[in-house]
Amino acid sequence: MSNPINLADKLAQFSEHWSPRIVGVFNGHDLMVVKAKGEFVWHSHPDTDDFFLVLKGRLRIELRDGDVVLGPGELHVVPKGVEHRPVAEEETELLIIEPAGTPNTGDPDTAVTKVSI
Amino acid sequence: MSNPINLADKLAQFSEHWSPRIVGVFNGHDLMVVKAKGEFVWHSHPDTDDFFLVLKGRLRIELRDGDVVLGPGELHVVPKGVEHRPVAEEETELLIIEPAGTPNTGDPDTAVTKVSI
């Protein structure tokens, strides 16, 4: 018998904001947990949609044509190429999914290195 | 301002077991919620991994080399080609992800039609 991936346990292992940790893989995508607080940068991903599922807290995804606000158990997919800026007033925990190697800022020069835990 | 996808709201819209509802799309994949109760069939997907995230309840994924038991906030990915049988003793709610058009039983002849809600 093997163990499932417990998202809360994974999130308890780090405290940095906007620094995704890889917890699994699925069809060439990284499954990641991330802690968000404050404003991220405006960015887009030319080659991939961006999946956000809020586990705890509250995330506002600012879009050029209006915002989407997510609470726990709510998800939103930003289509590829669409500019967005995630903002969390309080510390917020997320499951995000991106193709392996996708820079989190949309730009390899400013992206953080994603570590597996 | 647009609305996020609220998974609990989507799950409240139907009662059938093992009948996934499509709630969104992501990189050619369907994002689906499903209610599980009882034993599903042993099956595998030759061309895709199978993503399971438990939202409520408890899911046992039986595998030929041992089981994985998932509670709320826990996920497991069954690699492509690996035989598995999901079993839920109590009614269990899941987020699952599969490429659009994947038969839920691994076999188009026995698969249910996935409806968008």
pLDDT at B2: 78
Q: Percent of chain A beyond pLDDT 90?
A: 83
pLDDT for A1: 63
- Complete domains list, chain A, with CATH: 7-110 (2.60.120.10)
| Mean pLDDT, residues B92-114 | 89
Option in B3, B24, B77 nearest A77 (CB)? B24
Q: How far apart are the first and last CA of chain A?
A: 20
From the CB of residue B3, how many other CB atoms can be counted at a distance below 10 Å?
A: 11
pLDDT at B1 over 70: no
Mean pLDDT (chain A) is 94
Distance CA B110, CA A57 (A): 40
* Residues 3-62 (A) with a CB less than 8 A from some CB of B: 3-8, 23-27, 29, 31, 48-49, 51, 53, 55
Instruction: Identify any residues that bridge with B43 across adjacent strands, giving them in sequence order.
Output: B84
CA distances from A68 to A41, A62, B1, B81 (A): 16, 7, 6, 37
Closest chain A residue to the Cα of B45, Cα to Cα: A27
Is 80 exceeded by the pLDDT of residue B25? Answer: yes
- Helix then strand count (H, E) for chain A reads 1, 9
Of the two residues B36 and A101, the one the predictor is more confident about is B36
Q: How large is the ipTM?
A: 0.93
How are the residues of chain B apportioned to helix, strand and coil, as percentages rounded to the nearest 5?
A: 5, 50, 45
A-chain residue closest to B96, CA distance: A26
DSSP-derived pairing of the beta strands B115-116 and B21-26:
parallel
Q: Which of A73, A84, A94 is nearest to B4 (CA)?
A: A73
CB contact under 8 Å between A49 and B26, yes or no, is yes
- Cβ-based burial of A61 (10 A; exposed 0-12, middle 13-18, buried ≥19): buried
Contact list in A for residue B71 (CB cut-off 8 A) is 4
- The reported pLDDT for the residue numbered A82 is 96
Name the pTM for this structure: 0.94
All residues of chain B having their beta carbon less than 8 Å from the beta carbon of residue A70 are 4
Query: What share of chain B in percent tops pLDDT 70?
Result: 99
Cα-to-chain-centroid distance, residue A22 = 10
Q: pLDDT tens digit string along A58-78?
A: 999 999 999 999 999 999 999
Please write the tens of the pLDDT for every residue from B64-99.
999 999 999 999 999 999 999 999 999 999 999 999
Distance from CA of A54 to the nearest CA of B (A): 10
The span from the CA of B75 to the CA of B83, in Å, is: 17
A7 contacts in chain B (CB < 8 Å): 73-75
d(CA A14, CA B57): 27
How close B17 comes to chain A (CA, Å)?
A: 20
Tell me how far CA of residue B57 lies from CA of A4, B8, B37, in angstroms: 14, 13, 10
